[in-house]
Amino acid sequence: MSLDVQSLACARGGVRILAGVSFAVARGEALILRGPNGSGKTTLLRTLAGLTPPLSGKVAAPPEGVAYAGHADGLKAQLSVAENLAFWAGVFGATGISAAVDAFDLAELLDRPAGNLSAGQKRRLSLARLLVTGRPVWCLDEPTVSLDVDNVARFARAVGTHLAAGGAAVIATHIDLGLPGAKSLDITPFTRAHQPRRPHHDDPFLSEGAL
């Protein structure tokens, strides 16, 4: 089992957003997170990546096994494409960047400063970073933003290769990636609006009775 989540509750800015989230993603599996804007997909992914501590519940993942990609590309405009990738490869202890370059067709852009790239090219570079992390579990937040149809397909192929190699992925997205055998999870039932109002709240300042 690559990722095992049990009755997880997540908070954003100290406010409980999701509660009772449970799912498991095995090696070679992808899970697509669905839910309307603001339902807590980003919060859930950040919790899975270990950035936000969970309010309660458990996330079991391989140690140092989660690679996260959020809305921001995390690129340095002054560095070239190759330098950006090589930096992340160095941080994650990867040996080379050629596989990542090939997977996202970056060979022609290698010497361009990242600041000169179009939004879609930046996105490809940002996603190529996932390959140099060498981590088995990918947590991706709207990875296909500003990608054209060809590059969405290219991204789907990269995810497919990752899964075939025994990796796993949790992806929040609204479009159909066409990943074979991908499971889908709608997080709406776990959001606040669908939770019963509990008399004993997690916030100690909301306990009933006058203060």
Partner 1 sequence: MKGLLLRDLRLAIRAGGGFGLGLAFFLIVTVLMPFGIGPETGIITAVAPGILWVGALLACLLSLDRIFALDWEDGSLELLATSPLPLEALAGVKALAHWLTTGLPLVAAAPVLAVLLNLPVPGFGWLIASLAVGTPALSAIGTFGAALTVGVKRGGLLLSLLVLPLYVPTLLFGAEVARRGAQGLDALTPLALLAGISLLALAAMPFAAAAALRVNLR
Partner 2 sequence: MSIWEYANPRKFMATSGALLPWVSALAAILVVGGLVWGFFFTPDDFRMGSSVKVIYIHVPTAIMGSSAWFMMLVTSLIWLIRRHHVSALAAKAAAPVGMVFTLIGLITGAIWGQPMWGTWWEWDPRLTAFLVLFLFYLGYMALWEAIENPDAAADLTSVLCLVGTVFAVISRYALVFWNQGLHQGASLSLDPEQNVADVFAYPLWTCIIGFLFLFLALVLYRTRTEIRARRLRALIQRERMA
Is 193 near partner 2 (CB under 8 A)?
A: yes
The correct pick among 73, 101, 138, 162 for binding partner 1 (CB under 8 A) is 73
| Residue pair 152/127 in contact by the 8 Å Cβ criterion | no
Cβ proximity to partner 2, 63 vs 197, nearer residue: 197
Is 199 near partner 2 (CB under 8 A)?
A: no
Coil, strand or helix at 123: helix
Q: How far is the CB of 198 from partner 2 (least distance, A)?
A: 11
Residue spans of alpha helices (H) in the chain: 41-48, 81-91, 98-103, 119-133, 149-164
Q: Which does 138 bind (CB under 5 to 8 A by kind): partner 1, partner 2, none?
A: none
Is 52 near partner 1 (CB under 8 A)?
A: yes
Nearest to 81 by CA among 115, 120, 118: 115
3-state secondary structure 52-94: CCCCEEEEECCCCCEEEECCCCCCCCCCEHHHHHHHHHHHCCC
Is 206 near partner 2 (CB under 8 A)?
A: yes
Is 127 near partner 1 (CB under 8 A)?
A: no
Is 1 near partner 2 (CB under 8 A)?
A: no
The site for partner 2 (CB under 8 A) is made up of: 13-15, 192-193, 203-207, 209, 211
